[in-house]
Amino acid sequence: MSAIAIFGPTGVGKTGVAIALAELLRERGENPVAISCDALQVYEGLEVLTGAAGAAEQERLEHRLIGFVPVTRSFNVGEYMPLAHAEVDRALERGRTPIVVGGTGLYLRAALAELSLVKAPPEAEDSELWSPATRHPTTIFGLDMDRARLYERIDARTEAIVAGGATDEVRRAEALGPSHTARKALGFDDLLAGDVEAMKKRSRNYARRQLTWQRKIPNLHPIDRTDLSDTAVAHRMLMGLFPSI
């Protein structure tokens, strides 16, 4: 089995789909592991705010590279890339199926390829970030859905994040003195100000940018999941991975 990647905008349900796919892969005798490509889920203590897989979700699918960086420390793609490469390589060496999943386009690319960290000229940026070459054979799925339905999901997800204790998370992080990169977590400053509506708007805007990144990814297998459950999406992915089934 080669590597699998799942990309998509915030709120589209990447974690749920990854878990559903993992369950189908286990039925085929595979041993999957998720490797996060989210720039903010790396921070310890911001798991609710960033939508990182919780304990119950991790019982269903092991997730790597989440919640391991102190919120006081800066972190960047240059530090992330070798860690992600090591996780993917280790999984394949052990006969496991790596599922790279997340919504940070640059981190996705860094996890899958040898990404040059020298800043390219603007006209060369897209080809540099999204060249077809990957370190291992990889099938990349891109999730999308009806825009109005996506925005409804984003608003509901934001409400759930707030109800789950994200405001307390950001207050604790603020007391510790968060790094400038940790403060970039979507909604961090909005929740400090008590402005949930601003967080919703910022999340919808971010989703649009993610979809713009997604359109640049070569060899991507798009899936419109508007009326599909996580399991139904996972079945479509499985058919893409194993056309003969």
User: What pTM was estimated for this model as a whole?
Assistant: 0.93
Please name the residues in contact with 194: beta carbons below 8 A apart, sequence gap of 6 or more. 167
Residue 149 CA to residue 90 CA, distance in Å, equals 38
pLDDT value for 237: 97
pLDDT value for 114: 86
Query: Rounded to whole angstroms, what are the CA distances from 2 to 7, 24, 134, 135, 150?
Result: 17, 16, 11, 11, 30
Contact 87, 72 (CB under 8 A): no
Maximum separation of any 2 CA atoms in the chain, in Å? 55
Residue 70 CA to residue 79 CA, distance in Å, equals 14
Domains of the chain from N-terminus onward: 3-241 (3.40.50.300)
Per residue of the chain (245 residues), give pLDDT as tens.
689 999 999 999 999 999 999 999 999 999 999 999 999 999 999 999 999 999 999 999 999 999 999 999 999 999 999 999 999 999 999 999 999 999 999 999 999 998 776 554 444 444 445 566 899 999 999 999 999 999 999 999 999 999 999 999 999 999 999 999 999 999 999 999 999 999 999 999 999 999 998 998 988 999 999 999 999 999 999 998 988 76
Dihedral angle sign, alpha carbons of residues 237, 238, 242, 245: negative
